[in-house]
């Protein structure tokens, strides 16, 4: 399956191994362990983009889990994330999750995913056996 990324920094952090997973919508439950992953900068279907999309790597889905994120919980509580049924709500745990997803910290990641509903439900996809397919431009 194709995984597209919109930021050069995500590509760099995948290559250097600091981005260990990605969080995506998966309404049709298509992501499964063992599925081959094609890593792309930009969407390969969008060839009119100023910078042409290109595939930079391949890998395999090592783990796929449900993720639920709740932002600005009422009564003064902190944000909370559940990966499957494991809760993360300490700032250290949230920052670790954000860094492993290619962000500098939880605040940056929260701004990426936060919406009017103050929650996000999706999948977190971990990979293994990442290999470059071409030199980075």
Contact between residue 105 and residue 99 where contact means Cβ atoms under 8 Å apart: yes
pLDDT in tens, 12-32: 999 999 999 999 999 999 999
Half-sphere exposure of 113 (CA within 13 A, CB side): 29
pLDDT over threshold 70, residue 74: no
Q: Tell me how far apart the alpha carbons of residues 66 and 26 are, in angstroms, rounded to a whole number.
A: 9
pLDDT at 72: 81
70-to-82, 86, 115, 119 alpha-carbon distances in Å: 9, 13, 10, 4
pLDDT over threshold 90, residue 70: yes
pLDDT in tens, 34-67: 999 999 999 888 777 777 899 999 999 999 999 9
pLDDT in tens, 107-125: 999 999 988 889 999 999 9
What token pair was written down for 69? 């994120």
pLDDT over threshold 80, residue 131: yes
Q: Tell me how far apart the alpha carbons of residues 21 and 38 are, in angstroms, rounded to a whole number.
A: 14
pLDDT at 137: 52
- The pTM score is 0.90
Confidence of residue 78 (pLDDT cuts 50, 70, 90): confident
């Amino acid at each position: 399956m194709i995984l597209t990324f919109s930021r050069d920094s995500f590509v760099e952090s995948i290559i250097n191994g600091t981005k260990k997973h990605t969080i995506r919508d998966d309404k049709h439950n298509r992501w499964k362990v063992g599925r081959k992953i094609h890593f792309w900068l930009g969407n390969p279907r969008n060839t009119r983009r100023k910078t042409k999309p290109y595939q930079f790597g391949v890998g395999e889905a090592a783990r796929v889990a449900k993720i639920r994120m709740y932002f600005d919980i009422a009564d003064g509580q902190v944000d909370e994330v559940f990966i499957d049924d494991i809760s993360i709500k300490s700032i250290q745990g949230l920052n670790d999750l954000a860094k492993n997803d290619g962000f500098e910290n939880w605040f940056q990641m929260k701004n990426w995913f936060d919406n009017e509903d103050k929650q996000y439900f999706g999948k977190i996809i971990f990979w293994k056996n990442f290999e470059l397919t071409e030199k980075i431009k």
